[in-house]
Structure 1
Amino acid sequence: MCEEQTVSLVDVLEEDEELEEEASAVLAGSDSDLCSYPQGYVKRQALYACNTCTSKGGEAAGVCLACSYKCHEGHDLYELYTKRNFRCDCGNRKFSGLQCKLYHEKDDTNSQNKYNHNFLGVYCTCRRPYPDPDDQVEDEMIQCVVCEDWLHGRHLGCVVPDCVELQEMICESCMNKNPFLWTYAAHLAVSGTEVLMEGERQTSASNVPKKEEKVDEVVEPSCKRSREEAEPSCGQEGLQAIPQKTDQSRGEEAEPSCRLMELQAMPQKREQSGAVFWPPAWRSKLCSCNTCQAQLSTAGLSFLLDESDTVLAYENKGKSNELRQQGHDPLMSALDNLNRVQQLEIIHGYNDLKTELKDFLQTFAAEGKVVTSDDIRQFFEQQSRKRRRVDAAPFYCS
């Protein structure tokens, strides 16, 4: 028999705190109370697709965070993480019989929205649901920064780098649709992500970092990987600076030449196959001359010149919003409106309750018992009775 795996309360609390932080990074950047529709095509926001309202071959549609709470509570929702330049569809023509509770004056459709198979609850080139009950392989999912689909690490056609959290990825399909990106990849992409041969693509799970359970998505077999604080030390060896030409006669910087053309004139050593991982700040190395800007615009890739477009920038914004909200804690605001005696009474009461709850739980830990909801309810009922006795006690002044 195998030993039963044990998990300490500390482990549970630490994991819960980590999951809360990740959820806050995704959700705090979006408004949970107001529909985002009046803002137009939001640069980046948390989105959901409602299988309850648009199932059985219905048109793909996406709803904002607030509408997922207020208009689709209890529905079967697909979590889409974040997507760029999207306007909330809730209550428009695609939702027959459902009206948005938060904003009524909406157009029939949002013509500039872009949809993919994620809105139908399937992901990756394998078109599987997430989480996938039939997939026994522990694998992480990574989002392409161009098509914004989520792909399994083993289906990327390359070895996933160790510091993947710090890097953006463009899938092989998007690279092939925009061949000029291979030129950048040959000089700017993360080195060491060797391309897998065709026969290795389906058997490369051992080369892929194991997925960790995270909560923004469903806590099953793993997570869709989000980005963390970028560190220049990781993956920077492939990021080469391209010098600007200067006007030698005047000693001044001349009009910049096309960086892409300069790179195209250099030897191309990278095989044009598999997904490409890019190091931090790689977007700042892309050419922004008029010709290249027009090319990016035609391809619908102008956002690649915008470093604030990244998921990392969005998450950092969410974390900043969370910190500001914590700074305006309603409980602390209420305490500020009380006099000094009342503040001390509440603080002492809170500390006493915390101490008694800790002692109460320690008895279960010492005896190896499981704490049930009935145990917790009885504890607070006991506290309530104790409080009533204290309040009813006569007061004597000596």
Structure 2
Amino acid sequence: MCEEQTVSLVDVLEEDEELEEEASAVLAGSDSDLCSYPQGYVKRQALYACNTCTPKGGEAAGVCLACSYKCHEGHDLYELYTKRDFRCDCGNRKFSGLQCKLYHEKDDVNSQNKYNHNFFGVYCTCRRPYPDPDDQVEDEMIQCVVCEDWLHGRHLGCVVPDCVELQEMICESCMNKNPFLWIYAAHLAVSSTEVLMEEKKEESAADVPKKEKKVDDVVEPICKRSREEAESSCRQEELQVMHHKRDQSEAEEAKPSCKLKELQAMQLKKDQSGAVFWPSMWRSKLCSCSTCQVQLSAAGLSFLLDELDTVLAYENKGKTNEQSQQGHDPLMSALDNLNRVQQLEIIHGYNDMKTELKDFLQTFAAEGKVVTSDDIRQFFEQQSRKRRRVDAGPFYCS
């Protein structure tokens, strides 16, 4: 007979803290009380699609976090995680008979919004729902930073690297739509090519002194002259060389360079199939010359030059906001009204109770017992009796 697995309250609390942190990362960057529509096309926000109001076969639409709470409570919602440059659709022409409760003056349609099949509850190239009741394979889904679709790891056409949460991914379809990305991929997305690039830089740097030596070798006077004349001539030649190098350097700096063309000239090849995973800070290595900016803009990829566009930057912003809000905790505000001695007594008492509660619950987990309401009641009764004994003060016999 197998024993039923038990979970202590400590485990529940720890899991709850993890869930709160995840929620803060995704949601704290969005306002839960005010519709985001007046902000225009928000750089990045948490979004939802309402299957009740805009079912499959109709027009795709997305609503902000606040509208999902206030206007679509009890509806069948699809969580879309985050999307970039999106304006809340709630209550516009796509929602027949529904008016936004939070903001009434809305355009009929938000023409700059971009939609995909995620807004109808299907994902990946397999176009399946998530979670999929018919899929028994445990497989994480990863979001493409370009099309923002979610794809199963097994449908990416490549091996998913370790620590994928620290990287960004562009799916094969988006790579093929923008062939110049394969040039970057050959140099930035594969570690072996990065090593080759470093070796080439070192070889190039090693060649510089040799070239300078050839120029510096011309120091001996060609004909018989006095020592002073020879030294003066050499100094003049050195000055000429220095001025020439300076002019060359200034010309090179003034000349606009294109990183993409430089990488293309190296002719490093990469198998152009499957999704591509990019390491952190890879966006900072993309070329931002005027030509490349026009190319990125035409392809709708200008956001790739913005490192604050990443989901990681959005999540960090959410965590920071949550931590700043925790600084206004009502309990901490109450403590501010007490004197120093009272504050220390309460804090020590709280820490002691938390430690004792954790130890108390761990005994149940170690013995495989289920914690009941009577057990919890008994624990707090013991704490109350202990507190009364402490408050009573020391007893002296006469």
TM-score normalized with structure 2 length? 0.75
2:247 matches 1:249: yes
Report 1:215-226 matches (<5 A).
Answer: none
Listed one character per residue, the Cα deviations across residues 285-307 of structure 1 (whole Å, up to 9, x for unaligned) are: 11111111001100000000111
* Residues 86-235 of structure 1: pairs in structure 2 closer than 5 A: 86-191=86-191
C-alpha separation in 1, matches of 2:245 and 2:310: 35
CA shift for structure 1 position 63: 0.9
With over 3 angstroms needed to count, the CA separation of the structure-2 counterparts of 1:158 and 1:100, relative to structure 1, is same
- The amino acid that maps onto 2:335 is L
Matched residue type, 2:170? I
TM-superposed deviation, 1:78: 0.8
Partner of 2:73: 73
Question: Across the two proteins, how many residue pairs are aligned to each other?
Answer: 345
Which string of whole-angstrom CA distances, capped at 9 and with x for unpartnered residues, describes residues 315-345 of structure 1?
A: 1111111111111112212332456798689
Do 2:32 and 2:66's aligned partners in 1 also have CA atoms closer than 8 Å? yes
Task: Say whether 1:287 aligns with 2:287.
Answer: yes
User: Which residue does the alignment assign to 2:395?
Assistant: none
Q: Kindly indicate which of the two structures has a greater share of residues assigned to helix.
A: 2
In structure 2, the gaps of 5 or more residues are 202-243, 389-398
Residue in structure 1 matched with residue 276 of structure 2 by the alignment = 276
* 1:156 shift after superposition: 0.3
| CA spacing shift, 1:186–1:53, aligned 2, 3 Å | same
Say if 1:93 and 1:108, in contact at 8 Å, map to a contact too: yes
Partner Cα separation in structure 2 for residue 258 and residue 320 of structure 1: 37
Find out whether 1:38 has 2:38 as its counterpart: yes
Contact 2:26 2:315 in 1 (8 A): yes
On the 8 A contact 1:190/1:238 being kept in 2, the answer is no
Residues 331-342 of structure 1 aligned to structure 2 (within 5 Å): 331-337=331-337
Tell me, in whole angstroms, the C-alpha distance in 2 between the residues paired with 1:58 and 1:282: 39
Over residues 93-141 of structure 1, what are the superposed CA-to-partner deviations in whole Å (9 max), with x where a residue is unaligned? Answer: 1122222121111111111100000010110000011111111111111
Change in Cα spacing, 1:190 to 1:268, as seen in structure 2 (3 Å) is closer
Distance in structure 2 (CA, Å) of the matches to 1:136 and 1:188: 35
TM-score (norm 1): 0.75
Change (3 A) 1:178 1:241: farther
Residue 63 (1) aligns with residue 63 (2):
yes
Unaligned runs of 5+ in 1: 193-234, 390-398
Query: Which stretch shifts more, 357-366 or 302-311?
Result: 357-366
Q: Which has the larger radius of gyration?
A: 2
Q: CA deviation at 1:377?
A: 9.6
1:190–1:347 Cα change, 3 Å = same
Q: The residue matched to 2:68 in structure 1 has which SS? A: helix
What are the superposed Cα offsets for residues 45-84 of structure 1, whole Å, 9 maximum, x if unpaired?
A: 1111111221242211111111112222222211111110
Q: Take 2:197 and 2:156, find their aligned partners in 1: how far apart are those partners?
A: 22
Structure with more contact order per residue of length (Cα contacts < 8 Å, sep ≥ 6): 2
Q: Name the aligned partner's letter for residue 310 of structure 2.
A: T
**3-state SS, counterpart of residue 251 of structure 1:** helix
Against the structure 1 CA distance between its residues 16 and 289, is the aligned structure 2 distance closer, same or farther, given a 3 Å change threshold?
Answer: same
